[in-house]
Amino acid sequence: MQTYDLEADGLRGLNAALHAQTNQTRWEIINPKGSHAIAVGLDAPIDVTVKGSTGYYCAGMNQQATVRVEGSVGPGVAENMMSGEVIVEGDASQYAGATGHGGLLVIKGNASSRCGISMKGIDIVVHGNIGHMSAFMAQAGTLVVCGDAGDALGDSLYEARLFVRGSVKSLGADCVEKEMRPEHLALLETLLERAGADAKAEEFTRYGSARKLYNFDVDTSAAY
């Protein structure tokens, strides 16, 4: 285990060290104190634990690595993640998992607005609630919410799959409730288990795209 004091040794040194191909596979970052861009652009199967809360874009564009934050995260955690895992023990601010292509993002607290915006294949599991406009223009991947969802869930949704256990304040344009089939239950069970979420797949409702906005139609122009 390599310990890195972010306050003492600086951000550039941290990310440079994490990018370097060394034999060190376990890292602990102390004194993050809300710093931005911690552990971004990783591309190796290493384990990184952040001992505290972070600012913007923690674990941005992650590949292969497992990043665990023992605190809360600012906007854009794991944005554009390609693979690996990011686990947040606390809450997440806006845009969690934005545009992510792959990997698993777990938020054990609540996530703010626009969680999973433009997601492109990432799987996101939120143990708590999510804010408004989540999964906006979400293209692919799965968003699982064990609590409630805010306004306009899944607005302008493409092919991403959304599962919510609690209430949904409102659905966005072209987002509809859908039948929960066996393959969805199986997918959900796997994700809940991987995310350590204490919930049963049968308790969730599935939402997806009605696919009515995929090609422009003047008769539905008010929905755009």
Partner 1 sequence: MTQTDDTTPRTVPIQSETFSNAVNAEIRRAAETGIYDIRGGGAKRRVPHFDDLLFLGASVSRYPLEGYRERCETSVTLGGRFAQKPIELDIPITIAGMSFGALSGPAKEALGRGASAAGTSTTTGDGGMTPEEREHSDKLVYQYLPSRYGMNPNDLRKADAIEIVVGQGAKPGGGGMLLGQKISDRVAEMRTLPKGIDQRSACRHPDWTGPDDLEIKILELREITGWQVPIYVKVGATRPYYDTALAVKAGADVVVMDGMQGGTAATQDVFIENVGIPTLACIRPAVQALQDLGVHREVQLVISGGIRNGADVAKAMALGADAVAIGTAALIALGDNDPKWEAEYQKLGTTAGAYDDWHAGNDPAGITTQDPALAARLDPVDAGRRLRNYLKVMTLEAQTIARACGHNHLHNLEPEDLCALTMEAAAMARVPLAGTDWYPGKPGF
* Residues at the site binding partner 1, with contacts judged by CB under 8 A: 11-12, 15-16, 19, 36-37, 40-41, 43, 55-57, 60-61, 63, 75-76, 79-80, 82, 94-95, 98-99, 101, 114, 117-118, 120-121, 136-137, 139-140, 156, 158-159, 214-216, 218-219
Nearer to partner 1, 19 or 68 (CB): 19
Cβ–Cβ < 8 Å for 31, 11: no
Strands (DSSP E) contained in 63-156 are: 66-69, 85-88, 104-107, 120-126, 140-145
Gap between the Cα atoms of 189 and 182, Å rounded? 11
In Å, what is the CA distance from 123 to each residue of 41, 100, 175? 18, 8, 18
| Nearest approach, Cβ of residue 112 and partner 1 (Å) | 12
Nearer to partner 1, 36 or 68 (CB): 36
Tokens of 112: 């703010």
Nearer to partner 1, 53 or 165 (CB): 53
| Nearest approach, Cβ of residue 124 and partner 1 (Å) | 14
Gap between the Cα atoms of 28 and 61, Å rounded? 19
Nearer to partner 1, 72 or 156 (CB): 156
